[in-house]
């Protein structure tokens, strides 16, 4: 069995976190992942504090194991949800889209392990100094908002520049990816796209079907012009967005407005034309629907076998 320092740090069986996917990572999925031995995550996205409190309490009713909350720091409700996780005694918070430093004192006093998502060594060093318990090094293969560096080159550089544990994310959907992450120096993995196929994931079935049909070239990055690139599946929405992104007659404000609500249309309504189906490049590796338990067990059984056989090329 694979057991790393991350298991001890977070009180989990397997060194795996479920990605905090907006409009997707709710109490149902988080509880299922935690019950399966990983760390489930509820996404606070742009929701208000009462919505988050309700989801947290739903998850508490579904699992007695640790789970966390992902806080998007650019949310208009970031300040309020930052206090909710402390009040609800959430053991782990992952952060994205901003600097978590202003909340570190609050969260550390509440006993919360803070795991910021980082895409560069500079940010990794900064959050370590601020009091992060670990960092999630996320490569550009991931779905949603992405950085420039790939997981293969980002993870070892982050491992070299910080003394806290490093969790690898981006492009990991099976045991091969998990084993590779450990070899790069990570002590755990964060997986998002693979969990879209979980039975317990409440995302619209059209979203799941698109993931299961994805090929190696099925994703595209939009939004580079706006400074916050997003990886999603190719469809009518992403093609139209890309066309307008490179049209000088279209303003940045118009582009921003075009993306408002597009993820919700995909995740909750299954709108295959105007929805933004965020997904990582690893979508092509997702072949079937399974329970969260089956997904996690399969990933680590495969990883164990690969790691055991890893010396066969060594003479």
- Measure the CA–CA gap between 274 and 206, rounded to whole angstroms: 13
In a domain, 212, yes or no: no
Q: Which residue has the tokens 């919360």?
A: 112
Q: In this structure, are 242 and 174 located in the same domain?
A: no
pLDDT score for 97? 85
Q: In this structure, are 114 and 166 located in the same domain?
A: yes
Q: 3-class DSSP state for residue 127?
A: helix
Describe the chain by its helix, strand, coil percentages, rounded to 5: 45, 15, 40
pLDDT in tens, the chain (315 residues): 899 999 999 999 999 999 999 999 999 999 999 999 999 999 999 999 999 999 999 999 999 999 999 999 999 999 999 999 999 999 999 999 889 999 999 999 999 999 999 999 999 999 999 999 999 999 999 999 998 899 999 999 999 999 999 999 999 999 999 999 999 999 999 999 999 999 999 999 999 999 999 999 999 999 999 998 999 999 999 999 999 999 999 999 999 999 999 999 999 999 999 999 999 999 999 999 999 999 999 999 999 999 999 888 887
Q: How many domains does the chain have?
A: 2
In a domain, 189, yes or no: yes
In a domain, 23, yes or no: yes
10 Å Cβ neighbour count for 4? 16
List the helix and strand counts (H, then E) for the chain: 13, 11
| End-to-end CA gap in the chain | 26
Q: 302 exposed, middle or buried (CB, 10 Å; 0-12, 13-18, 19+)?
A: middle
Q: Which domain, by its residues, includes 273?
A: 219-278
- Measure the CA–CA gap between 295 and 290, rounded to whole angstroms: 6
In a domain, 207, yes or no: no
In a domain, 187, yes or no: yes
- Measure the CA–CA gap between 130 and 262, rounded to whole angstroms: 34
Q: In this structure, are 96 and 121 located in the same domain?
A: yes
| CATH number (domain holding residue 76) | 3.20.20.70
DSSP 282: G
Q: In this structure, are 30 and 97 located in the same domain?
A: yes
In a domain, 211, yes or no: no
- Measure the CA–CA gap between 3 and 304, rounded to whole angstroms: 11
In a domain, 149, yes or no: yes
Q: In this structure, are 20 and 156 located in the same domain?
A: yes
In a domain, 314, yes or no: no
pLDDT score for 314? 82
Q: Which residue has the tokens 């999630």?
A: 136
Q: In this structure, are 129 and 20 located in the same domain?
A: yes
Q: In this structure, are 144 and 187 located in the same domain?
A: yes
Q: In this structure, are 45 and 131 located in the same domain?
A: yes
In this prediction the pTM is 0.94
């Amino acid at each position: 069995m694979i057991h790393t320092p991350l298991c001890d740090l977070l009180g989990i069986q397997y060194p795996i976190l479920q990605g905090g996917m907006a409009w997707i990572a709710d109490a149902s999925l988080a509880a299922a992942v935690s019950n399966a031995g990983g760390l489930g995550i509820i996404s606070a996205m742009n929701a208000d504090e009462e919505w988050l409190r309700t989801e947290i309490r739903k998850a508490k009713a579904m699992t007695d194991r640790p789970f966390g909350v992902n806080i998007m720091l650019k949310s208009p409700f970031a300040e309020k949800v930052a206090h909710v996780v402390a009040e609800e005694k959430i053991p782990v918070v992952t952060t994205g889209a901003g600097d978590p430093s202003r909340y570190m004192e609050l969260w550390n006093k509440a006993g919360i392990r803070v795991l910021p998502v980082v895409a560069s060594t500079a940010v990794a060093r900064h959050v370590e100094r601020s009091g992060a318990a670990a960092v999630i090094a996320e490569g550009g293969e991931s779905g949603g908002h992405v950085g420039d560096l790939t997981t293969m080159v980002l993870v070892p550089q982050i491992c070299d520049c910080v003394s806290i544990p490093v969790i690898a994310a981006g492009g990991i959907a099976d045991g091969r990816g998990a084993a590779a992450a450990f070899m790069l120096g990570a002590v755990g993995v964060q997986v998002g796209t693979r969990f879209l196929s979980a039975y317990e994931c409440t995302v619209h079935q059209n979203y799941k079907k698109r993931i299961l049909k994805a090929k190696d070239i099925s994703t595209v990055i939009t939004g580079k012009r706006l400074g916050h690139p997003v990886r999603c599946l190719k469809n009518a929405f992403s093609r139209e967005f890309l066309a307008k992104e490179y049209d000088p007659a279209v303003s940045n404000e118009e582009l921003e407005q075009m993306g408002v609500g597009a993820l919700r249309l995909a995740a909750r309504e299954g709108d295959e034309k105007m929805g933004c189906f965020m997904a990582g490049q690893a979508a092509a590796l997702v072949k079937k629907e399974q329970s969260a338990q089956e997904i996690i067990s399969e990933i680590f059984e495969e990883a164990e076998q690969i790691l055991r056989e890893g010396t066969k090329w060594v003479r």
